[in-house]
Structure 1
Amino acid sequence: LQRIFNSFVYTEKISNGESEVQQLAKKIREKFNRYLDVVNRNKQVVEASYTAHLTSPLTAIQDCCTIPPSMMEFDGNFNTNVSRTISCDRLSTTVNSRAFNPGRDLNSVLADNLKSNPGIKWQYFSSEEGIFTVFPAHKFRCKGSYEHRSRPVYVSTVRPQSKHIVVIVDHGASVTETQLQIAKDAAQVILSSIDEHDKISVLTVADAVRTCSLDQCYKTFLSPATSETKRKMSTFVSSIKASDSSTQHALGFQKAFQLLRNTNNGTRLQGNTDMVIIYLSAGITSKDSSEDDKKATLRVINEENSFLNNSVMILTYALMNEGVTGLKELAFLRDLAEQNSAKYGVPDRSALPVTKGSMMVLNQLSNLETTVGRFYTNLPNRMIDEAVFSLPFSDEMGDGLIMTVSKPCYFGNLLLGIVGVDVNLAYILEDVTYYQDSLGSYTFLIDNKGYTLMHPSLTRPYLLSEPPLHTDIIHYENIPKFELVRQNILSIPLGSQIITVPVNSSLSWHVNKLREIGKEAYNVSYAWKMVQDTSFILCVVVIQPEIPVKQLKNLNTVPSSKLLYHRLDLLGQPNACLHFKQLATLESPTVMLSAGSFSSPYEHLSQPETKRMVEHYTAYLSDNTRLIANPGLKVGLQ
């Protein structure tokens, strides 16, 4: 058999990273553009519906939890029972009965989108008034109310600017167990409402200030709010215990400003970054030196904020004690939020105006998701009408991994809410996942902050069941000099760079691709391109010198030979037998086509093979006339 293969004529192919990355980026861009078109279409319908709502109110509610089971059936694409003809609604606790709800107007548009766009999962409109409309309809989160406005997708779409947040939890002696529990629950809500493009730190304050000890860098800097960071911070919040010492409010703010300043100095701060300190406190100062404590706290805020051009906003949440909070405590917390230092005789150190925050009272009956979870409404709305692309996350309505493309909806200056489309990650990334140009090349996809969406060392999306860890590409391309390459990738839209890597510092999957074993160093070529209209960057990597790929020249099959597809169970072969308990035939050779053989591996994997499809494959592969249409296989495979 080897001699037969050796007798064929081959051509050799060497990778060209620069041209490959252009072609691949074009494919990915075309996919994203389909979903951007869907989002824009849904946005236009919502905004047009609001105009109609002003004269003829659209308020009809279709509760997801009252849809009769007879209207829904199991759908493998969603892996749950759905109705592909209607949308349905989940409401937050504060929805007005006359709130705008375009759901019924959207049904036909959403159904059409689903039919004509592979890879689409959920489509939704989440209103600023608290209505979450999802298509296709299914029974979703039916225990209690559903507050979508405190979810990261909503927050990052209506306030896309990066947020630097320090949460301070007061656990001093004057804070009761009930108050402390409210504060801990509120801190968890804040953690669950932000995403990787924000930075976070959680502090506790009593006689001293403590940071999360699960990572040393938390002591000095804010950390990007990745799922891993949020998990660690959440563990830290859960472990907070009441202290016997009185609260040193000034110390808490001193540390919070220090973290913000360190983070600003360590990174190139964009002009539209919002800095916020959220203080969860009873507002009680020591009896002996109450006024001194208050003055010291306001002085710290005044001095520290002046170093940051008075750009830090303070939000205070007053923790109620059995329904009672003293007026003095409320006044103090309001003064902190408004940075009212002049009231305490502290002169302004900066001529710039302060960014005033707000004070809100919390008790056991407060809906924390609707109050604290909406903290971002205090931040400036810069009316940024741009699409936001999330990083991959687990589908909480069905299963599998998805990413969301979302956009805000406006009527003039009035925010109506957001429209979003959840896209199957396996479909979006199939061109990257199944990329195979040569033995010495591979590809990866990152976002504009450096977080990795796909890399050869990661499991293919359709096989993943656990939510992905959002990890910087530097941890996968862990070789000398890559840090400089990373900086260029993130700052230059189109480029290439070659670095030399000592073999003793190489990566395991690089060694497997080396052409000449025994040399002390090898070259790695990186070619990258920003995928237009998105926040993603594609990179093609080539290990040099590479092993050229031998490609078979056109070889016509013998007209009499019959080629079968490996699904003999569908073809119903009369002379089939069992070989090692597998269906087999001695009459003719069989060919198996892996997912990578198809122009869309995702579509191939997500639909069952039928007898008709198999007959089409075999007819096309055996066709020497080139007259039979390609049934979805890669060009050149025949």
Structure 2
Amino acid sequence: MEMFSVNTTTQRERVWQCTCLTLVILLCPLPMSSGTLINGRLLGGILDDIADNGLGVSDMQAEYDALKYTNSPLDGAGISKQLANSISAQIQGAEAALKGLVNVIEEQYSSFSGENQYTQCCEITDTNDDPRYKSEVNFDKACVTIAGQSSVNKKFPTARIVEVMKENVRINPNLKWQYFGGEDGILLNYPAVKTTDVPDCDSYDPRFRSFYASAVSPVPKDVVLVLDTSDSMRTLHNGKTLMELAKQAARTVLDSLGPNDQIGLVSFASSASTPVLAESTCYTTTLAAATPSNIQNLKKYLDSLRATGGRNYEAGLKKAFSFFRSSNGTVRDQVLLFLAAGGSSEGSDPVSTIRDENAALENKALVLTFGLGKSVAGSVQTTLQNMAVQTQSRMSAGEVKMGTFTIVENPDDLSVAMATYYKFFHSPSQGVSNPEISAPHRDMLDKGLITSICLPAYHSGRLIGVACSDVAMSELLSEATYFDKGELSYAFVINGYGRTYSHPLLPRPYDDPDDPIFVDIHHLERAPAAKAVISSMIRGEEGNSSFVSTRTQARGDVFREGVSITNVMSHYYWAPVAGSAWSVCVVISDGSKNTEISPPTVLPSMFTYHRLDLKSASSPCKHFFKYATKDSSAVMLTPGAFRQPYHYLNTEETATNVTQYERYLTGQSSQNPGLKNSVLGSVAATYKAEVIWRKKRADYITWRSIGTMDGVVRVFPGTQLAKSYDHTRTDWFQRSLMDKGKNVVSAPYLDPWGSGYVITLSRTLYEAKADRQHTPSDNIVAVMKADFTLYYLYQAIQDNYTYCSLSSY
């Protein structure tokens, strides 16, 4: 067949070609000459026309310039203390509820029954959806999980304990899950919820979860698992090899660790090996923080292990102790879990190896040894016993921690035997009086980040279980996360290890990342002077400091458009969170201030709330795919408009709430429904945009909106927005902040609301200035945007660039 090309171009292709031309002009300004076909000024004129005659940017800037403002300096020290106190109050409220619950558990324990009166969580059906829990729950009752390896003598909590849990939620609505995990493997959970993240009803065992282990033994732990992978691990038991059961036990140990712990894995046969994974090389030579991602990677390594070859205890031990030498030097409990099966060891005497290696660590490591199966020879048991008690230890190197040897004749019991290692660091006589506050983690239904506040419970001096109260991180860090006093001011929260819990460079807790992101604050606050600030915060001190630091801001979509880095004179103010090891820091850029419009007046006609499903608008219609009204714009008070953003997000908005907003904003009520003081002025000011839009009819524009820095957004035609919508986090808003005073244009995209392919043009509005001569250094108060059709841009280009319509093009 003869090949040929035909110079034919469809109209749609021309649209895209001319659109590409538009983007080229924006990104690559060309020198003008008589022979230049592409004139950037022509396109700039098209965009200016859209901005001024379609969106009304110049008119709206004039309106803001005419407003009067009240300005006051920011009290950085006061703000940091306020944020710290807000977090502390929530923690202390959860702790008070928890202590009351533990008291009742301890009082009621002798009345616990061997008969189960609760529905198992995996069988719960009578539930209702609750937005705070992001799942279906039943507040009228609790449910239980019963571990497959639970005690024969089970003891189920009394109904009185459930009543206390209900009362706790009534008094403190910020509480999320409350639960009690018993030493017998029973978990009582309130409110009742159907578990979905466990494969079987009996596969969840609270005793082997990090909340349980850290409450019983609060000091962070360095754990090194040493697993025998010799030929003897091929032995079958009930259809499974000893290797499979050893892997299962190792996974159980991994699940018991929290992010403050560190973990290392060693496998040995004739020689010893450590993990070599594509994800990271750090697992090979150093202890890894037991974060969710590290635990997941180490489980991959476990899956790869195969049983083959002889056994060399010495090789495994030397690798294990090399991990301990990599520890970060903080006060930590160190434990070596050594599992072996089969016959005697090759190599040097393992007892003397432990003597020499542990002496170099001042005898800090505890050694727990396990013999797996009935075939472990008597001589091997003696060796493992001597390894655990360290019979050849050098007392001059430091006090020896005497471990134990456990012969696990029934391999099915191995997980229980190994995963209760943490009890060696727990003293029942002393007990634990201060609740343990966990690092952020996914909740039991994988529906968001929480922190667990836990306490062990005792009966007659004996540990009977652990009780916890969970608080959503989104609520706990609400005010710090949404702190906004200017474009370059922010707040961050860390714990006593320097781990970052909240920072503008990390996802917000409400954004539900797949797993919590654990980042050392030094990686985010990189100015040399920030080191002293961080050290002071970790020590739990209060202070302030001023120096030049960098700001990293998204230029829209971070992955496609990158970031902008600016050096800013910054003022740091930090304060500890009482009752925890956490600390809050407020970073205020030079020149930032409190700014409010005064005196604002909002008439009822100026405020139509966007919840058209709760309060019907006049003349409703369908604007493309959206239910809307063309009689008015609609105002949304986004999370950032509220003093407690996550309380708003986690509470169902009702018609009563809408009425409260209306009455307060229009002056009919002095009762503030939780809004920031500046919101009243922003609602009044943005109404001017609706007036302008009504005068400037532009059929080619599908949607127009204005979003303020303090969380108010107004859209025309009026329509409902998603509750979690936050314009300040959108690409168009962030692009505009990076290019102040310029027309910022998006790439074409398919409008999810049904208007076809559109382009967004956005532009910043400045705070009032007497001479009305604005520069990019001026404070931004809002950003306006218009979505206009791709076809309109195509026609405009056709009209202004004649070569686009040539048949030869």
Question: TM-score if structure 1 supplies the norm length?
Answer: 0.86
User: In structure 2, what is the Cα distance between the partners aligned to 1:475 and 1:486?
Assistant: 11
| Maintained 8 Å contact 1:495/1:527 | yes
* Correspondence for 1:181 among 244, 251, 255: 244
| Maintained 8 Å contact 1:62/1:89 | no
| SS of 2:325 mapped into structure 1 | helix
Is 1:338 aligned to residue 389 of structure 2? yes
| SS of 1:101 mapped into structure 2 | coil
Instruction: Look up the match of 2:674.
Output: 632
Instruction: Look up the match of 1:234.
Output: 299
| SS of 1:564 mapped into structure 2 | coil
* Correspondence for 1:213 among 276, 282, 287: 276
Is the deviation greater in 610-619 or in 137-146? 137-146
* Correspondence for 2:597 among 510, 527, 552: 552
* Correspondence for 1:31 among 87, 90, 99: 90
Instruction: Look up the match of 2:132.
Output: 77
Q: CA deviation at 1:147?
A: 1.3
Q: CA deviation at 1:420?
A: 0.5
Q: CA deviation at 1:527?
A: 1.8
Amino acid at match of 1:324: S
Deviation readout 1:360-419 (Å, 9 max, x if unpaired)? 234674144422221222334252321111122222236222221111122353222111
Change (3 A) 1:118 1:599: farther
| Maintained 8 Å contact 2:69/2:595 | yes
User: In structure 2, what is the Cα distance between the partners aligned to 1:560 and 1:477?
Assistant: 46
| Maintained 8 Å contact 1:38/1:113 | yes
User: In structure 2, what is the Cα distance between the partners aligned to 1:148 and 1:563?
Assistant: 51
Change (3 A) 1:79 1:592: closer
Change (3 A) 1:310 1:21: same
Change (3 A) 1:441 1:81: closer
| SS of 1:126 mapped into structure 2 | strand
Alignment of 1:357-396 (within 5 A): 357-362=403-408, 365-381=411-427, 383-396=431-444
Deviation readout 1:592-615 (Å, 9 max, x if unpaired)? 211222233223223333333212
Instruction: Look up the match of 2:71.
Output: 12
Instruction: Look up the match of 1:515.
Output: none
Amino acid at match of 1:468: P
User: For the aligned residues, what is the CA RMSD?
Assistant: 3.0
Q: CA deviation at 1:583?
A: 5.0
Q: CA deviation at 1:279?
A: 0.7
Q: CA deviation at 1:115?
A: 3.0
Change (3 A) 1:34 1:521: closer
Instruction: Look up the match of 1:537.
Output: 583
* Correspondence for 1:313 among 366, 387, 391: 366
User: In structure 1, what is the Cα distance between the partners aligned to 2:566 and 2:495?
Assistant: 33
Change (3 A) 1:18 1:80: closer
Change (3 A) 1:205 1:547: same
Is 1:250 aligned to residue 314 of structure 2? yes
Q: CA deviation at 1:160?
A: 0.4
User: In structure 1, what is the Cα distance between the partners aligned to 2:326 and 2:216?
Assistant: 27
| Maintained 8 Å contact 2:537/2:574 | yes
| Maintained 8 Å contact 1:59/1:97 | no
Alignment of 1:507-522 (within 5 A): 507-509=551-553, 522=568
Amino acid at match of 1:200: I
Amino acid at match of 1:366: D
Is 1:457 aligned to residue 457 of structure 2? no
Amino acid at match of 2:506: L
Instruction: Look up the match of 1:172.
Output: 230
| SS of 1:466 mapped into structure 2 | coil
Amino acid at match of 1:248: N
Amino acid at match of 2:248: D
Change (3 A) 1:175 1:69: closer
User: In structure 2, what is the Cα distance between the partners aligned to 1:170 and 1:70?
Assistant: 45
| SS of 1:314 mapped into structure 2 | strand
Instruction: Look up the match of 1:201.
Output: 264
| Maintained 8 Å contact 1:280/1:316 | yes
Q: CA deviation at 1:85?
A: 1.8
Instruction: Look up the match of 2:353.
Output: 300
Alignment of 1:413-562 (within 5 A): 413-501=461-549, 506-509=550-553, 522-543=568-589, 545-546=590-591, 548=593, 550-557=595-602, 562=606
Change (3 A) 1:163 1:67: closer
User: In structure 2, what is the Cα distance between the partners aligned to 1:630 and 1:37?
Assistant: 29
Is 1:136 aligned to residue 191 of structure 2? yes
Instruction: Look up the match of 1:344.
Output: none
Amino acid at match of 2:303: S
Give identity over the alignment, percent.
27
How many residues are aligned here?
602
| SS of 1:571 mapped into structure 2 | coil
| Maintained 8 Å contact 1:171/1:241 | yes
Greater radius of gyration (CA): 2
Q: Which runs of 5+ in 2 are unaligned?
A: 1-59, 236-240, 557-563, 681-809
* Correspondence for 1:118 among 173, 177, 180: 173
Amino acid at match of 2:365: V
Instruction: Look up the match of 2:648.
Output: 604
| Maintained 8 Å contact 1:479/1:507 | no
Is 1:190 aligned to residue 245 of structure 2? no
Instruction: Look up the match of 2:217.
Output: 159
User: In structure 1, what is the Cα distance between the partners aligned to 2:171 and 2:395?
Assistant: 60
Q: Which runs of 5+ in 1 are unaligned?
A: 342-346, 513-517
Instruction: Look up the match of 2:108.
Output: 49
Q: After the TM superposition, list the runs of 4 or more consecutive aligned residues in structure 1 that deviate by more than 6 angstroms.
A: none
Instruction: Look up the match of 2:804.
Output: none
Deviation readout 1:187-232 (Å, 9 max, x if unpaired)? 2221111111112111122333322224444444322222222222
Deviation readout 1:78-123 (Å, 9 max, x if unpaired)? 3444332222222234545654433412121111222332332211
| Maintained 8 Å contact 2:146/2:201 | no
* Correspondence for 2:147 among 62, 79, 92: 92
| SS of 2:367 mapped into structure 1 | strand
